[in-house]
């Protein structure tokens, strides 16, 4: 198994075009299994059985890992063994019958509209060397629902300012067209014209660059968002995917149909988008409970 993991990782990077963050997660998950198998017996692919993977789940549980983390690791293993079957490294898939429930799905976190406005106001009033870049990043993440890896991989030739669209390369090397609103496009164009380095000294075609003129990385984006949050009056957490959740939730709350949101987000299955209908329904329920005087018995006493 040890010699096959790098081959699988190269496949994910070169053919599936997964982000480096996802690549690191797959590598870590498969390395965990390899170390477990080496400590408990043989790690030869032909020797791995369904029971070995069940024992691996027990091992992960005893380590105190969250059920969602264990579920993600098992997803990585399933992908690896499916690839191993296609490559004819194994005759049967030991993960085929493996079942594990991560428990009740938590609703995705999102910002309310007044909260996102506070963040945008804070970003617009910050005074530092990259204020145009940082505002454009926040505006674009909220306006398009891009994954952070897609934002970092965005290149200049994929922006059409006149049509106000982006050609985004998503998961599985699939391209999609993403519309951009007036405000976000204006922020993006201001960054490109007023702040982004130009000329022969800039060797990268990436839209967003760091201090060295290299493509910005996901951890840089998280730092930028953290800095914006500190400048605002908000006490909540922030991360790029929360802005993606916010985009989808606000779109559906304001009348967008689910297929449109699915297409913009780049979801292969509609079920991935449907979770946001639960968010909007839950918000509707909370608004009702908060507003109607007889909706909740906790609002009055005899």
Report the C-alpha gap between 93 and 98 in whole angstroms.
10
Question: Closest by alpha carbon to 276, among 123, 108, 152?
Answer: 108
Query: Of the spans 11-20, 100-109, 217-226, which averages the highest pLDDT?
Result: 217-226
Mean pLDDT of 38-50: 84
Q: Which two tokens stand for residue 178?
A: 């993403």
147 is catalytic: yes
Beta-carbon contacts of 251 under 8 Å, excluding residues fewer than 6 positions away, are 145, 260, 261, 264
Under CATH, which number does the domain 5-86 receive? 1.10.150
> How far, CA to CA in Å, does 163 sit from each of 111, 136, 150, 174, 242?
28, 18, 20, 21, 27
Check residue 106 and give its pLDDT: 65
Report the C-alpha gap between 260 and 256 in whole angstroms.
7
Q: Any idea which fold 127-290 has?
A: hpI Integrase; Chain A (1.10.443)
pTM: 0.66
> Per-residue confidence at 296, pLDDT binned at 50, 70, 90?
low
Domain boundaries, the chain: 5-86, 127-290
What mean pLDDT value characterizes the chain?
Answer: 88
Report the DSSP beta bridge partners of residue 160.
Answer: 165
From the candidates 167, 171, 222, 239, give the one annotated as an active-site residue.
171
From the candidates 219, 241, 281, 292, give the one annotated as an active-site residue.
241
220 is catalytic: no
Contact 209, 216 (CB under 8 A): yes
Asked if pLDDT for residue 50 goes beyond 90, the answer is no
Asked if pLDDT for residue 301 goes beyond 50, the answer is no
Name the residue with higher pLDDT: 67 or 167.
167
> Per-residue confidence at 297, pLDDT binned at 50, 70, 90?
very low
Mean pLDDT of 22-45: 89
């Amino acid at each position: 198994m040890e010699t096959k993991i790098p081959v699988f990782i190269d496949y994910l990077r070169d053919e599936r075009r997964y982000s480096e963050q996802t690549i690191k997660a797959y590598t870590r998950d498969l390395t965990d299994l390899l170390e477990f198998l080496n400590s408990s017996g043989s790690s030869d692919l032909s020797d791995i059985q369904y029971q070995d993977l069940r024992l691996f789940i027990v091992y992960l549980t005893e380590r105190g890992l969250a059920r969602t983390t264990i579920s993600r690791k098992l997803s990585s293993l399933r992908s690896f063994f499916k690839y191993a079957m296609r490559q004819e490294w194994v005759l049967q898939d030991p993960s085929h019958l493996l079942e594990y429930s991560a428990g009740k799905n938590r609703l995705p976190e999102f910002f309310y509209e007044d909260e996102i406005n506070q963040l945008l106001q804070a970003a617009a009033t910050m005074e530092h060397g990259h204020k145009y870049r940082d505002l454009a990043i926040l505006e674009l993440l909220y306006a398009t629902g891009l994954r952070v890896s897609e934002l970092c991989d965005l290149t200049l030739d994929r922006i059409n300012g006149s049509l106000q669209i982006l050609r985004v390369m998503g998961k599985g090397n699939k391209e999609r067209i993403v519309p951009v609103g007036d405000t976000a496009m204006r922020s993006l164009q201001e960054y490109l014209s007023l702040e982004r380095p130009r000329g022969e000294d800039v060797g990268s075609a990436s839209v967003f660059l760091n201090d060295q003129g290299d493509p910005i990385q996901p951890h840089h984006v998280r730092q930028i968002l953290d800095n914006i949050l500190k400048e605002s009056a908000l006490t909540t957490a922030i991360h790029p995917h929360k802005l993606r959740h916010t985009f989808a939730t606000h779109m559906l709350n304001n009348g967008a149909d689910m297929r449109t949101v699915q297409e913009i987000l780049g979801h292969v299955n509609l079920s991935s988008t449907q979770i946001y209908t639960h968010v909007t329904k839950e918000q509707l329920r909370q608004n009702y409970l908060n507003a109607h005087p007889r909706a909740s018995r906790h609002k009055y006493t005899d």
